Amino acid sequence: LGLALRAPTVFEGQALDTSADYVAGPAYQVFAAEHLCRFANSEASFNARELCAVDLCLANSSHDERHAWWEQVKRCRRRPQGRPV
């Protein structure tokens, strides 16, 4: 199992470090994974392509379920909550 350490908002599309057995997946899969991590980190600013990638990956859950989960995660954050969703 290969792993890559990423910082999507700092080095978009690039891995900071990888394990010896890491093999990159298809470009869209890497793109979607980066933006799913941003969504899980309760970030709120996505462009249309990024939002579409997240939406396609989470298609098995309803919008209401995603929204409720995202709001719960966001409430746990210690940073300022001034950004609208």
59 pLDDT band (50/70/90 cuts)? very high
Q: What is the pLDDT of residue 77?
A: 74
pLDDT at 85 over 60: no
Nearest CA to 27 among 49, 60, 9, 58? Answer: 49
Residues above pLDDT 70, as percent of the chain = 88
Supply the mean pLDDT for the chain. 84
Helix or strand holding residue 4 (H, E):
strand 4-6
Range with the poorest average pLDDT among 8-12, 27-31, 62-66: 8-12
